Structure 1
Amino acid sequence: MSGDALVFYSPVDDANDWREALSAELPDLDIRVDPDVGDPADIRYALVWLPPKGFFHRFPNLKLVTNLGAGVDALVRRDDLVPVQFSRLSDTGMISMMTSYIVYTVTRYARDMHIFERAKRRGEWEYVHPRPLSSISVGVLGLGELGSPAAAMLAKMGYDVSGWSRSEKSIEGVRSLTGRAGLETILAESEILVSLLPHTLDLDGVLGADELALMPHGAKFINASRAAIVDEAALIAALNSGAIAEATLDVFSVEPLPSDHPYWQLENVFITPHMASVTVPALAARDVAESIRRVRAGKPPLHEIDPARGY
């Protein structure tokens, strides 16, 4: 209806899929796909992923911004937003995808699949005797909406799992650590380290050269959160020296990853194109619609975030 419209923007998501899913939940919602926004004054809601600089300046009556994903760093510390409410997606499909990615990448190292992959390319039969999962220590940095289920699943599989977060968490089978001392402990003890941290100001570059040097020699590192969490130059140096034996990286400071980037030349780096977890419109539209209903009724949206904290 006029005066109560939603604008959709994403460089990677299918607008038609979202239009269909949202229309099934809210038939009265006027859905407009950028740049065809009509009268900008009609826009009350925005469903976006990585909106460009200045994107929101056009919409003076905006009430709710929903992020097409769990990471909201592209929506905080902006100068083009009037005071609005923020929410992020948290659908079961996205959580399942991230959990499956973490289980796969951790298990790929735990079961030495990276060694067998290289042996296959050489045409050699190389046997490595399997180790019990309980003997493999896995550290999960970030125990939020995505990190907690992943850590819990790894623990259920039998891994020795520890997690680090801002506040202490209670997750069956997972030791919870906090603070600087907790970070140093989990770095020093983790044979496989997984980052699912949000990108906030206090976590920018939290894994620098000093922190990476705390990890056991030959440790493995998996980053499915944000590239800015880790000092890229320090990570490349550690990978070249063997201090960190292997890395699986799904996020990068520039995407797509440039063809001349050093990561491409490192045999011990497994690269995935920022696809560890994606949103499934048919599952997530229900939450988006409910947030809009709540805002219409003067209530907070689902999965509301605090821009000051960044999550």
Structure 2
Amino acid sequence: MPLNVLFAARPERWETYEAPLKTALAEAGIKARLATDMPADEVDYIVYAPNSGVEDFTPFTRAKAVLNLWAGVEDVVGNPTLHLPLARMVDHGLTQGMVEWVTGHVLRHHLGMDAHILGQDGIWRKDVPPLAPDRRVSILGLGALGQACAETLGRLGFAVTGWSRSQKEIDGMTCLSGDKGLVSALQSADILVLLLPLTRGTENILNAKTLAHLPRGAVIVNPGRGPLIDDDALLAALDKGEIGHATLDVFREEPLPAEHPFWAHPHVTVTPHIASETRPRSASQVIAENIRRGEAGEPFINLVDRDLGY
């Protein structure tokens, strides 16, 4: 008998995921009926986006897991009706996209590209940037995405420091944790990259107090979560010249309202949440692998720790 797999996401997602999911399931040897609507008590697995219409998981009495389409789970992990295993999305397409975006913007600020792209004024200014080993980069968040970005920047020669909630050991990188470690990571950041999950402990982790630990003129690159930063505190630090520039891909409200001061600020770059997008083909392979594991009695991959929130 085929498995019943409910695709619970917005209609436009179904248009892009239907064919890749069916292909991935077939390649994994899984016989499944994939649909956007079916009786809740007949569903075996839920492929889920938190902005779908499914909010009450109580009727899904037969379901074995919820397989999130997004890397972030803050919009679902606290749902009191969800008692099923919840897996977040970690796929190589998403990781590759993040690595490319972060590396590109770190190199942009490291090399001072804006001065040449925007400053074609006929004046020959020979300002030679330091080499990568002399540019200190700190990454807050050492999950799959943070580690991948850190490894790539390290291979380019940057002096990379990583900070995470719990202590980690990664070859070739200084790893810090805890409150004191956070202060050290900030103090040693010419360029700061935010790749933390959004939890009660990370919201507003960059605020007036912590921003003050950054070297004057430091650059902030945030492709993680908008609420990691206190917007007002960041704007104040930018206006005072304490922070040199902020390149922001994620925001508290998206799309970012046209009247938000980030749009017009001369030292802010806004990108429209494009740093890392889940690719249907690679994401479908991850989903199919988790369904295969569930049916084989193997542990699911990328399971969310409910206590930690990610």
TM more than 0.5: yes
Distance across 2 between alignment mates of 1:275 and 1:249: 10
Q: CA deviation at 1:57?
A: 4.3
Per the alignment, do residues 46 and 126 of structure 1 end up closer, same or farther by CA in structure 2, a change over 3 Å counting?
Answer: farther
Distance across 2 between alignment mates of 1:170 and 1:224: 23
The answer to whether the 8 A contact 2:10-2:52 is kept is: no
Q: CA deviation at 1:100?
A: 0.9
Larger displacement relative to structure 2 (13-22 or 215-224): 13-22
Aligned to 1:173: 172
The answer to whether the 8 A contact 2:194-2:224 is kept is: yes
Aligned to 2:262: 263
Q: Is 1:31 the counterpart of 2:34 in the alignment?
A: yes
Distance across 2 between alignment mates of 1:53 and 1:178: 38
Structure 1, residues 222-280: CA drift from partner, whole Å, max 9, x if none?
11111111111101111111110101101000000000000011011111111111112
Aligned to 1:277: 276
Q: CA deviation at 1:117?
A: 2.6
Q: Is 1:128 the counterpart of 2:131 in the alignment?
A: no
Q: Where in structure 2 are there 5+ consecutive unaligned residues?
A: none
Aligned to 2:161: 162
Distance across 2 between alignment mates of 1:181 and 1:105: 27
The residue matched to 1:7 in structure 2 has which SS?
Answer: strand
Aligned to 1:43: 43
Q: CA deviation at 1:3?
A: 6.8
Amino acid at match of 2:32: L
Q: CA deviation at 1:31?
A: 1.8
Aligned to 1:111: 111
Of all paired residues, the percent bearing the same amino acid is: 35
Q: Where in structure 1 are there 5+ consecutive unaligned residues?
A: none
The answer to whether the 8 A contact 1:2-1:30 is kept is: yes
Aligned to 1:232: 231
Distance across 1 between alignment mates of 2:42 and 2:219: 50
Q: Is 1:205 the counterpart of 2:208 in the alignment?
A: no
Aligned to 2:72: 71
Q: CA deviation at 1:156?
A: 0.9
Q: CA deviation at 1:220?
A: 0.3
Distance across 1 between alignment mates of 2:294 and 2:235: 46
Aligned to 1:60: 60
TM-score (normalizing by structure 1)? 0.91
Distance across 2 between alignment mates of 1:77 and 1:87: 14
Amino acid at match of 1:270: T
Q: CA deviation at 1:126?
A: 4.3
The residue matched to 2:183 in structure 1 has which SS?
Answer: helix
Distance across 1 between alignment mates of 2:13 and 2:242: 41
Tell me the number of residue pairs that the alignment of Structure 1 and Structure 2 aligns: 305
TM-score (normalizing by structure 2)? 0.91
Aligned to 1:192: 191
Distance across 1 between alignment mates of 2:129 and 2:153: 17
Q: CA deviation at 1:39?
A: 2.2
Q: CA deviation at 1:130?
A: 2.3
Q: Is 1:95 the counterpart of 2:95 in the alignment?
A: yes
Amino acid at match of 2:38: G
Distance across 1 between alignment mates of 2:306 and 2:122: 52
Amino acid at match of 2:220: F
Distance across 1 between alignment mates of 2:106 and 2:2: 50
Structure 1, residues 178-211: CA drift from partner, whole Å, max 9, x if none?
1111100111111100000111111121111100
Distance across 1 between alignment mates of 2:147 and 2:193: 12
List 4+ stretches of structure 1 deviating above 6 A. Answer: none
The answer to whether the 8 A contact 1:85-1:300 is kept is: no
Aligned to 1:84: 84
Q: CA deviation at 1:92?
A: 1.4
The answer to whether the 8 A contact 1:250-1:276 is kept is: yes
The residue matched to 1:198 in structure 2 has which SS?
Answer: coil
